[in-house]
Amino acid sequence: MSGYDYDLFTIGAGSGGVRAARLAGGLGKRSGLAEAWTVGGTCVHRGCVPKKFYVFASHYGHDIEDAAAYGWTVEGVKFDWPTLVAAKKKELSRLEGIYDGVLDNANVDLFKGRAVLEDAHTVRIGDQTIRAENIIISTGGTPFVPDMPGAELAITSNEIFDLDDFPKRLVINGAGYIALEFACIFAGLGADVAVVYRGDMPLRGFDDDVRKAVHREMTEKGVTFRFESNISGLEKSGDGLRVQLDDGESIDCDQVLVATGRVPNTDGLGLEAAGVGMAKNGAVIVDDYSKSQVPHIFAIGDCTDRVNLTPVAIHEAVCLIETLFKDNPTIPDHEFIPTAVFTQPPVGTVGLTELQAREKFPDVDIYRAEFRPLKHTISGRAEKVMIKTIVDGATDRVLGIHMVGMDAGEVIQALGIAVKSGLTKAQMDATMAVHPTTAEELVLMYDKIS
């Protein structure tokens, strides 16, 4: 142990990095943590948390519209963008203080500055050099911006939360979950939103019935989709921007959000100098235990490009601490991960898509229902719920559940436990329904459609 300043030094104070550093410190290990930006990382400051606040804000507009049908009279409704931005900043500042306190209580030394590896055990932060027995890379991801004329005029998810002015006309490049969540947010707040995407349907990689349902519901709420189209360039036009499409058409707008994916945030960390292997996209190559090709250098979270979700990064951190310091080698479990997309209505999903299931299993049963939720039988809104269950016909085990509808994220969290535990369709059928709820349809789908 002599010659090392720390038993564990973590580079990157996002959700995974903070958890690893804190757990190590709580075990009495000498734990250090470096962060070049803000403690909490993307999830707390540029992702999950502020995004959910803005989802709440945008949804109030729909709720106010629906309230009239239920007897409420609401006059003088208006939305103030600066108020929302200020409220968000205040809450995120509070959360950052909590993170700082948690690290301090766990005796973690926090270094504010960019950390660079000089070799397998040496980290440089400014003029300071630190020696660590074990090093974790947990630097997350960063938005990918395509190379095109005028790309510097666009914004990414890093900037969109803090715009000085609300964009009344917004063009979004991409149709993944980040793109669609912001499309719903800004449409709900009153903007005209157009989504430009090279494919023929949003949410690539999700179940096809989910993709169709989300497209239908977002179109119903006023979002315009330009499928099989690419942005070829951007230019200034008057007080706004002009988006040039590869089919020769153009769209005038106030802002362009590029949401075409994220890449590992590993540039300039000195990984090559330390001998750490990386994939072509910059992801740190790790084994099942999150160990890189260099002994004592590990990586967790989005910088490994395995499953890029905050709870997964935290889980990988917990497993790594078990492996390093508790004599309990633990492999992160990446199967049957429940997740949500906070579109409006939201998506909840766990397990295999129908396509994935049919590729892996010879006998697959499909159960699906679409219906108008009780709330909207009075509000008059055309919104529908889609619920789909995918079952292994040979064993009756549930392979996947997919939902588009109110509270889908909350519903899928509970279902994730059941699916992970080996839930069967017979057990679902034997469960009593909670009436009247949207989720009761999950236990009332007795007849398979294919």
3-state SS, 300-346, equals CHHHHCCCCCHHHHHHHHHHHHHHHHCCCCCCCCCCCCCEEECCCCC
Across-strand partners of 226?
A: 196
Burial of 14 (0-12, 13-18, 19+ CB in 10 A): buried
Contact 438, 406 (CB under 8 A): yes
Q: Which of 62, 215, 315, 435 is catalytic?
A: 435
- Own/partner long-range contacts of 329-334 (Cβ < 8 Å, ≥24 apart): 329/289, 330/289, 331/288, 331/289, 332/288, 332/290, 334/306, 334/307
Nearest-angstrom CA–CA distance, 346 and 93: 27
435 is catalytic: yes
DSSP secondary structure letter of residue 432:
P
Nearest-angstrom CA–CA distance, 86 and 53: 12
- Give the H/E segment covering residue 389: strand 385-392
Catalytic residue set: 435
